[in-house]
Structure 1
Amino acid sequence: MKKIFLLLFLLLTLSSYSQNRYLDNLFENDKAVTRTYAHKDGKELTLDIYEPKKDTASLRPAIIFMHGGGFSGGSPKNEGEVTFAKMAAKKGYVAIQISYRLTRKGQSFGCDYQASGKIETFRKAADDFLDAVDYIVAHNKEFRIDTSKIIVGGSSAGAEAVLNAVYNRSLLFSNSTRKFNNFAVVFSLAGAILDSRYINENNVVPAILFHGTADKLVPYATAPHHFCSAEDPGYLILDGSRTIADMLKELNSAYQIYTFQGAGHEISGMPIKQLPQVFQFLKEVGIDQKVIQAEINL
């Protein structure tokens, strides 16, 4: 009998040691905390902060995520975003879901909306994202966040805002006084930027990218937004995930691109099935600082 108890003890001990922070579910979810990070255009902009319950680590990496919705809808309380945040917190991350100005609510963001307006929409959303980042950095001690390990991401419109804020900041904000640009990884779901040529050795950030090759709203590679014709007011060339990945490869940066052959904009949804691989990349690249370059075709 003593041998049986000893064997069970050893098995439980080995099991506990085999669990990995940032990969396995080691914690329960604490109750999310909502904070206001800015007031703009009469709107209160908030962020929801999810922490691992009873976590004693002195510093934790953070994931800041921005929902999609065509700059006209969506919420940080979307089911997919909340699921992702809770999964991240269970693994030891501080997960933050942010709201932002929905400047195209009830209005078109298609080919009939002028390109200059689209760029301004990107700029305002990117500005909100950077304000949320500033808030988190300013309150890093309260939430025990390691500011050298801040992972950022977004879906669709949110991805466009985040990617442009990270890679095209000088293009959008010629007089920006913000200094923080020390992001560990970008996680993008069907996102794009204005100009990949602005990605350089000074602002390059590793990325994990998801995109469908038949996305008719946000181009997979380099093509017009919404595939508008050159005669349309909304004609605006964007560089999608494929083009971004190619630039990161050229700069010898880590990246992982998931290409969904024949898929459309539905790839902007939270990839629940692939999240274990996402967390693997975030740990190996964002935490352990490994350089991984991978292409996954589905």
Structure 2
Amino acid sequence: MLRKISVPALFALLVFLVAPLSAELPKIERDVVYGTVGDLKLLADVYSPAEESDEPRPVVLLIHGGGWRGGNKTAGAEVALGNALANRGFVAVSISYRLVKDAGNGKFVNQWPAAIDDCRQAVCWIRENAEKLNVDATKMGAAGDSAGGHLVSLLGTTDAAKEGETSTRVQAVVNIYGPGDLTKDWTKYEIKANVAVQGMIDNFLGKGNEENQKAASPTLHVDDESASFLILQGGEDQLVPPEQTKALHDALTKAGSFSEFVLYEKDGHGFGPNTALRALAKSIEFFERELKAVPATN
């Protein structure tokens, strides 16, 4: 996953992306409550440009990976993207969300739709607090890797809002090797972790629950209102095979939505430092084009 990027490579990336625009590091407000579920507080880290702006900025929601069962908002990919985006004139919001937990006796808590419900709540929170955050709620993107890539893809292909409610759909998505069709039998894929991944999907959705499988598959929800997509994939991925993300790309293209599919043929599920740098730069370029960021100034 992108979170495997080495410290030297991450530093080089931030120097490359930050130095040309600002001598100051982004402002980071940590552990902001974006919602609650019972007594549980849902937390976010908000990355903002060091420079003040009279104009609302485009905003990107960052969602970490971890098989829907692990990870957090301070994962390496999210920290790198948050800093880089803030130094290119965006506000970035990295969230933690409810993770699937083994409750024993074959039962699990925080199964579907807990994770996507939290992500949608974050979208609504950003839009409803746009003035406070100084963001343009009509220019919202989302980026995530692995399970996070899956969740951001749902934010780009579905809208859970009823008439008169705040939209949960974003306008631009970067999916970094996130699965698109959870109705597929992973054990049929010729990858090393096929059985393990199928187990994670079963724990997330409930084994054999076809209704959840369809509801949780962004590829099956693509339509002419879907967001613009950038899909980044490793050709030797042993967790999410390239045909999964390629099928999402093909569905988007067929529906008339913009989608760019980039295959790093020699990388797996976890880009090496050089590819990670290229992927992060590509992501920033995509958001600048799709959300028309106003760069920070010295």
Task: State yes or no: 1:28 paired with 2:32.
Answer: no
Structure 1 residue aligned with 2:222, among 175, 199, 203? 199
Q: Which residue of 2 aligns with 1:151?
A: 141
- CA deviation after TM superposition for structure 1 residue 265, in Å: 1.6
Q: Which residue of 2 aligns with 1:266?
A: 270
- Look up the SS of the partner of 2:35 in the other structure: strand
Q: Which residue of 2 aligns with 1:165?
A: 155
- CA deviation after TM superposition for structure 1 residue 262, in Å: 4.9
Task: State yes or no: 1:91 paired with 2:88.
Answer: yes
Task: State yes or no: 1:134 paired with 2:156.
Answer: no
Quick check: 1:43–1:101 contact (8 Å CA) kept in 2?
Answer: no
User: Greater shift after overlay, 245-254 or 161-170?
Assistant: 161-170
Matched residues in 1 for 2:230 and 2:19: separation?
Answer: 16
Give runs of ≥4 in structure 1 deviating > 3 Å. 21-24, 104-107, 175-179, 267-270
Quick check: 1:213–1:220 contact (8 Å CA) kept in 2?
Answer: yes
Map 1:8-27; keep pairs closer than 5 Å: 25-26=21-22
- CA deviation after TM superposition for structure 1 residue 183, in Å: 2.0
Unmatched 5+ residue regions in structure 1? 1-20, 108-112, 222-239, 289-298
Deviations 1:55-97 (A, max 9, x none): 2232100011101111222111123311210111011100110
Map 1:1-298; keep pairs closer than 5 Å: 25-26=21-22, 28-33=24-29, 34-40=31-37, 42-104=39-101, 121-168=111-158, 178-193=165-180, 194=217, 196-201=219-224, 203-221=225-243, 240-267=244-271, 271-287=276-292
Deviations 1:89-145 (A, max 9, x none): 0111001100001123698xxxxx99xx89x83421111000011111111001110
Quick check: 2:84–2:284 contact (8 Å CA) kept in 1?
Answer: no
- CA deviation after TM superposition for structure 1 residue 275, in Å: 2.2
Counting aligned pairs with the same residue, the percent is: 22
Matched residues in 2 for 1:94 and 1:164: separation?
Answer: 21
CA change 1:29–1:23 in 2 (3 A) is: closer
CA change 1:274–1:57 in 2 (3 A) is: farther
CA change 1:187–1:24 in 2 (3 A) is: farther
User: Greater shift after overlay, 55-64 or 40-49?
Assistant: 40-49
Deviations 1:216-257 (A, max 9, x none): 322322xxxxxxxxxxxxxxxxxx320111112212322211
- Look up the SS of the partner of 1:266 in the other structure: coil
Larger radius of gyration: 1
- Look up the SS of the partner of 1:81 in the other structure: helix
- What TM-score, normalized by structure 2, do the two folds share? 0.69
- Look up the SS of the partner of 1:134 in the other structure: helix
Deviations 1:184-243 (A, max 9, x none): 210111112315232111x3111011112333322322xxxxxxxxxxxxxxxxxx3201
Matched residues in 2 for 1:23 and 1:280: separation?
Answer: 16
- Look up the SS of the partner of 2:27 in the other structure: coil
Deviations 1:17-52 (A, max 9, x none): xxxx99953463343113111222643210110111
Higher relative contact order (CA 8 A, sep 6+): 2
- CA deviation after TM superposition for structure 1 residue 178, in Å: 4.9
Unmatched 5+ residue regions in structure 2? 1-16, 181-216, 294-298
- Look up the SS of the partner of 1:244 in the other structure: helix
Quick check: 1:23–1:279 contact (8 Å CA) kept in 2?
Answer: no
Matched residues in 2 for 1:52 and 1:218: separation?
Answer: 34
- Look up the SS of the partner of 2:65 in the other structure: coil
Matched residues in 2 for 1:268 and 1:200: separation?
Answer: 34
Matched residues in 2 for 1:282 and 1:268: separation?
Answer: 22
Quick check: 1:60–1:146 contact (8 Å CA) kept in 2?
Answer: yes
